[in-house]
Structure 1
Amino acid sequence: MSNLTIRVEDMNGQQRTIQVNSSWTYAQLHNQFAQMFGGGELSVIFGNKYLSVVTQGTATLEQLRFTNNCVIRVLQQMKGGF
């Protein structure tokens, strides 16, 4: 169990850093993103793959191979739309 600093990059390329624990599940991290981005549908990309709460929600960040200073891209689908 260790603390990680991860970088979260939004659609505009702006980065923020957050502290997480490697024993968190992906679902816990996704909840953190939902708070940071004010809800809406979020697409989360780590490396070259999308992370899904449905398929990876119970996996720990350690199991997903998150490392210190890794960059997570979060794309936000706005509510409403056309």
Structure 2
Amino acid sequence: SMLLAKHFNVTIACNLLEMQACLAQQKFDLALLDLKMSDGHPCRHYREVLKKEGVLILIVAATMTDAELFDCFHKGVYGYAPKD
């Protein structure tokens, strides 16, 4: 986030509730989501909310199977970036 903040306005949400609060306050162009969300909510819950708001989604993951990648793209994810 520090690297991105040098060039972009960055807002960090640590869980689904924080993300929803951020979306209520401002419009976002892009969301970077970890494939394995740490708050216990499956990534699909985040994708559903973001897609409804018209936010492009980029998944970031350490590893991703072909099936997971296909599922993400099938569900409207804009792209994938490996963490490394």
The question of a shared fold, defined as TM-score above 0.5 by the shorter chain, is answered with no
TM-score where L is the length of structure 2: 0.29
TM-score where L is the length of structure 1: 0.29
Q: Report which of the two has the higher share of strand.
A: 1
More relative contact order in 1 or in 2 (CA 8 Å, sep 6+)? 1
